[in-house]
Structures are given as C-alpha cells and as structure tokens.
C-alpha cells in the first residue's frame, strides 16, 4: 500500500469508526476484522470458519498488531471497506500466511474441498511440508 492510499484509507477509517456505530453497526474487534478480511478475500473457497478463527488466534500471538494502534486501524479500515490483498500489505500478509497454513495447496488448490487450517506454517513444526515440492509433485506428475 502506498502512502497516499494509506492516508486516504486512514481518513476513511476514522470517519467510518465514528459513523458506523452511529448507523447501528457494532465495531468489530481486531480478530474479527482479521477473520473478516480472510473470509472476504477468499469468499470463493470453502473455508472452515473455526479454522480461520484459530489461525487468527495463533497469528495474533506475539504479533506487533497487538500493540500498534496504527496497524489495528489499518486492519479495521481494510475490513470495513473491503480492501483486498492487492491493495494492502497487511491484508496480504494475513491472507497469504493463512492459506499456506492450510491444506489448500496440499490438496492441489482444489476449490471444491473444504479448506482446513493445519497450524501456523512452520517448517520446524512440520518439516517436509513445502506443498510445491517434489514430495507433492513427484517427477512423473510434473
């Protein structure tokens, strides 16, 4: 996200944060906003919502967003305004990391299958889990 775009979003966010509750919307928590941006961005996939929520719990643990009002504002703005990963580095980071932490790529990007969260992607917790490697695409398949 470039600076100008961010400032515009921040301004809109400020206005939205004031206006939306007045219009009857309940302000989302940071985690709800994070779940929301994932569900919005990947609306065409069958996501296991409980898995998404668990991912956000895991992802937020020790994340700088917990102590950064600026990042929280950014996230909620993106959520309320439907900003996608192409326009927000934060949304890209959250969604990108979510998807690699699921079985979506292990299932060869099959959109008909329920996408299940497997735990934060960590090669030390699950070695040999690179979903694009020869283990999942052996030579005779490539």
Partner 1 sequence: MRYNSYDLVVIGTGFASSFFLHKFLRKAPATAKVLVLEKGHFFPHAERVKEKRGEETPYARLNPAYKDTFENHNPEKKWVFTQGFGGSSNCWYGCTPRFMPADFKMKTLYGVGNDWPLQYDDLENYYTQVEEIMSISGPADTPFPKKSGYPLPPHLFATADEILHKEYGNLYISQPTARARVAVNGRNACCASTVCHVCPVNAKFTIENSNMGVYEDPRVELLYGAQVHSLNLEQNVARSANFIKDGKEHRVAGEVIVLGTNALFNANILLNSGDSNPFTGKGIGEQLGLEASVYLHNLENVGGSTWVNANGYMLYDGEHRKEYAACLMESNNAPYYRMERGKWRHIANFRMVFEGLPEAHNYVATTSDSMRPAVHYKGPSEYTLRGVEKMKLKLPEILACLPVEKIVYGKPFDSEAHILGTTRMSANPTEGVVDKHLLHHQYRNLFVLGSGSFTTYTPSNPTLTLSALSLYAADNSF
Q: Which of 105, 110, 114, 119 binds partner 1 (CB under 8 A)?
A: 105
Q: 24 or 138, CB closer to partner 1?
A: 138
* Rounded least distance, CB 81 to partner 1, Å: 18
For residues 122 and 97, the answer to whether their CB atoms sit within 8 Å is no
Q: Is 66 in the site for partner 1 (CB under 8 A)?
A: no
* Rounded least distance, CB 108 to partner 1, Å: 9
Residues 26-45 contacting partner 1, CB under 8 A: 44
Q: What is the DSSP string of 60-104?
A: HTT-GGGG-HHHHHHHHHHHHHT--TTT-HHHHHHHHHHHHTBST
Q: Which of 18, 23, 26, 123 binds partner 1 (CB under 8 A)?
A: 123
For residues 34 and 101, the answer to whether their CB atoms sit within 8 Å is no
Q: Is 64 in the site for partner 1 (CB under 8 A)?
A: no
User: CB-hemisphere CA count at 13 Å for 62?
Assistant: 2
Q: Is 130 in the site for partner 1 (CB under 8 A)?
A: yes
Q: Which of 13, 30, 74, 85 binds partner 1 (CB under 8 A)?
A: 85
Neighbour-count burial of 117, counting CB atoms closer than 10 A to its CB (0-12 exposed, 13-18 middle, 19+ buried): buried
Of the candidates 102, 115, 108, 98, the one whose C-alpha atom is nearest the C-alpha of residue 133 is: 108
Q: Residues in the site for partner 1, rule: CB under 8 A? A: 44, 85-86, 92, 95-96, 99-100, 105, 109, 121-125, 127-139, 141-142
């Amino acid at each position: 996200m470039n600076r100008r775009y961010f400032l515009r979003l921040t301004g809109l966010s400020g206005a939205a944060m004031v206006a939306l509750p007045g219009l009857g919307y309940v302000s989302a928590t940071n985690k709800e906003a994070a779940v929301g941006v994932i569900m919005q961005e990947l609306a065409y996939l069958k996501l296991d919502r409980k898995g998404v929520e668990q991912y956000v719990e895991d992802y937020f643990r020790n994340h700088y967003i917990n102590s950064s009002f600026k990042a929280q504002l950014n996230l909620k703005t993106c959520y309320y305004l439907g900003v996608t990963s192409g326009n927000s580095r934060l949304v890209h980071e959250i969604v990108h990391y979510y998807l690699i932490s699921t079985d979506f790529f292990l299932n060869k990007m099959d959109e008909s299958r329920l996408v299940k969260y497997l735990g934060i992607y960590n090669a030390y917790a699950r070695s040999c889990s690179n979903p694009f490697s020869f283990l999942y695409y052996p030579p005779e398949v490539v």
